[in-house]
């Protein structure tokens, strides 16, 4: 039987609706509107598209969007000076510096310069550390999106499941594994040195693939009925669509997985849309934290 499709677009839309309600509530009852500052350095075409979507969706949720577009040759010191200015600006609740940064800028130094309270990307060591400790903090957006989708597919019954996370990056694999441990999964992390990786994957009730290798996970790597969250976004040639055409595929061979899994995220339309939605909900959370307010119900209960 074909797996159930986990619709990330619909889930993200629901989350954004929760954010929109929360923003309206904050404005009406507390007299402020959260603001998200997005900083883009250079002309990377993909980054420009991402920043455009972030700005648009921020405004659609009723929040203020503050945009800073800096030239490619901006120095690290000037970028950090801007971040510090945003740290001190009471109109700014969240700061997102779009990655990747130009090669002459040290990304770690920039991330470290962001006020952890405004670090809506959840990348600052204070927030990453809070996740390790199981304490409240701002959680990285894509990992948060993965877990929300898994919870939806599994009706919130994650406790006790065997979860395998393929990939151990700081951005995706590691935070996903920590979030799943917090959900009481038994988590195995697999990576490029893992032996018998197919077998390890086959032990998973919940498999999260974040390796950046097109269609690496084949159907026979998947336990029948498992929930599969495919984080990969890989552009590959698609001669069937015409000469020079390409398409997006995940890290999982979708057609094969569809025959075996219980539920699966498509690519595109799975984890991708959740990332910006989680960024917006993190911004509302940051705005509440900065004012020592509990997170208001619409987002807390999404």
Query: For binding to ligand NAP (CB under 6 A), which residues are involved?
Result: 142, 166-169, 171-173, 191-193, 197, 210-213, 231-234, 271-272, 275
Residue 143 CB, nearest distance to ligand NAP (Å)?
9
Catalytic (active site) residue 121: yes
In the bound state with ligand NAP, the residue whose beta carbon lies nearer, of 74 and 144, is: 144
Of 21, 57, 93, 98, the catalytic one is: 98
Residue 203 CB, nearest distance to ligand NAP (Å)?
15
Of 115, 121, 230, 251, the catalytic one is: 121
- CA dihedral for 279, 132, 117, 159, sign (positive or negative): positive
Residue 23 CB, nearest distance to ligand NAP (Å)?
23
Longest CA span, the chain: 57
Q: Of 235, 90, 223, which is closest to residue 161 (Cα–Cα)?
A: 223
How far, in Å, CA of 36 to CA of 76, rounded? 21
First-to-last CA distance in the chain?
30
In the bound state with ligand NAP, the residue whose beta carbon lies nearer, of 162 and 234, is: 234
Residue 267 CB, nearest distance to ligand NAP (Å)?
8
Residue 217 tokens read as 């996970």
In the bound state with ligand NAP, the residue whose beta carbon lies nearer, of 197 and 284, is: 197
Residue 173 CB, nearest distance to ligand NAP (Å)?
5
Of 20, 54, 174, 223, the catalytic one is: 54
In the bound state with ligand NAP, the residue whose beta carbon lies nearer, of 204 and 210, is: 210
Catalytic (active site) residue 181: no
In the bound state with ligand NAP, the residue whose beta carbon lies nearer, of 153 and 171, is: 171
Which residues fall within 8 angstroms of residue 244, CB to CB, at 6 or more apart?
Answer: none
Catalytic (active site) residue 54: yes
**DSSP structure class, residue 43:** -
Give yes or no for a contact between 23 and 284, defined as CB atoms under 8 angstroms apart. yes
How far, in Å, CA of 258 to CA of 260, rounded? 6
Task: Give Cα separations from 69 to 37, 53, 79 (angstroms).
Answer: 11, 15, 11
Active-site residue list: 54, 98, 121
């Amino acid at each position: 039987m074909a797996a159930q499709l986990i619709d990330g677009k619909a889930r993200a839309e629901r989350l954004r609706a929760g954010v929109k309600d929360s923003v309206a509530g904050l404005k009406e009852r507390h007299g402020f509107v959260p603001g998200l500052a997005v900083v883009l350095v250079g002309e990377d075409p993909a980054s420009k598209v991402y920043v455009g979507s972030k700005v648009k969706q921020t405004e659609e949720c009723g929040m203020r969007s503050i945009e800073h577009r800096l030239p490619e040759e901006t120095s690290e010191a000037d970028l950090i000076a801007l971040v510090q200015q945003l740290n001190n600006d009471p109109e700014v609740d969240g700061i997102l510096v779009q990655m990747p940064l130009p090669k002459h800028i040290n990304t770690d130094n920039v991330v470290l310069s962001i006020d952890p309270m405004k670090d809506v990307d959840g990348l600052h060591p204070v927030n990453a550390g809070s996740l390790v400790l199981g304490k409240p903090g701002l959680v990285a957006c894509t990992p948060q999106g993965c877990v929300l989708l898994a919870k939806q597919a599994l009706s919130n019954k994650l406790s006790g499941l065997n979860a395998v996370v393929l990939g151990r990056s700081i951005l995706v694999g590691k935070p996903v594994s920590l979030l799943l441990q917090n959900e009481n999964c038994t988590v195995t992390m697999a990576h490029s040195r893992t032996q018998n990786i197919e077998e390890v994957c086959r032990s998973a009730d919940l498999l999260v693939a974040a390796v950046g290798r097109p269609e690496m996970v084949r159907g026979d790597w998947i336990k029948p009925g498992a929930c599969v969250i495919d984080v990969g976004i890989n552009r590959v040639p698609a001669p069937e669509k015409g000469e020079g055409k390409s398409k997006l595929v995940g890290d999982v061979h979708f057609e094969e997985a569809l025959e075996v899994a219980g539920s699966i995220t498509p690519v595109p339309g799975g984890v991708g849309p959740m990332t910006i939605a989680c960024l917006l909900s993190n911004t509302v959370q940051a705005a509440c934290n900065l004012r020592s307010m509990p997170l208001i119900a619409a987002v807390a209960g999404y």
